Amino acid sequence: MKLFRTPKVFRWIFPRRIWGFSSSEPKVYLTFDDGPTEGLTDWLIEELSKHDVKATFFCVGENVKRHPNLTKKLIERGHVVANHTMKHEKGTSTSKSEYLASIQETSTLIDSKLFRPPYGRMPWTFTKAVSQRYRIIMWTWLSYDFDESVSVQNIIAQADRIKAGDILVLHDNKRVEERVKLILPEVIRIVKSKGLHFEVIPSASS
């Protein structure tokens, strides 16, 4: 069974990580992991522009180095570019010192106080050190765009469960390209039909 919505208990288990925002305002927060990616990122920029949507892109440092013009274009179009480690390291199979060094190296390329751990996995023993410098951003709605065992139709149907305050996760990589091009327009349509609008994730708590 796929958990499109993150169980609320996670907020209690990992209180230093941000799993969503207040539902008192009609806002949701669209995020993309892994880019920038040649071809797909340009498409995302244009599709988001078409619907007047701004998003937060958690970018891998190596991809930023490889595609500096795409990174610059994201920022110029009003999107937020944030830290997703240098090489998409999994925290559960990387030493603490290596993991923190990866985040630090990425920070020389990306000026952001927002961080998302790749795969959503980071040992709790890393949390204090990371949270001293970054807001650790998780999610409340995961699209499963990366999992081909989950149909595009099912993902779109599950988008109807999105509500105010949610952080949504899609991906910006070659593996998901065809699926994201089908999913994103429908997610935007469904969210807007609920009277919700899209915001970028703030760098500091308000």
Per residue in 92-125, pLDDT (tens digit) is: 999 999 999 999 999 999 999 999 999 999 999 9
Residue spans per domain, the chain: 17-198
Average pLDDT rounded to a whole number, residues 184-206? 93
Predicted local confidence at residue 203, as pLDDT = 87
155 pLDDT above the threshold of 60: yes
Q: Give 3's pLDDT tier (boundaries 50, 70, 90).
A: confident
Residues 6+ apart with CB under 8 A from 127: 14, 16, 17, 136
pTM above 0.75?
yes
* CATH code of the region 17-198: 3.20.20.370
DSSP helix, strand, coil percent of the chain (3-state; round to 5): 40, 15, 40
Q: Which residues of 9-31 are buried (b: 16+ CB within 10 A; e: fewer)?
A: ebeeeeeebbbbbeeeeeebbbb
Predicted local confidence at residue 4, as pLDDT = 93
Enter the DSSP assignment of 92.
G
Q: With CA atoms as reference, report the closest residue to 138 among 54, 15, 43.
A: 15
Predicted local confidence at residue 55, as pLDDT = 98
Mean pLDDT for the chain overall: 96
Average pLDDT rounded to a whole number, residues 42-60? 98
Q: Are 182 and 47 in contact (CB under 8 A)?
A: no
In this structure, the number of other CB atoms found within 10 A of the CB of residue 179 comes to 21
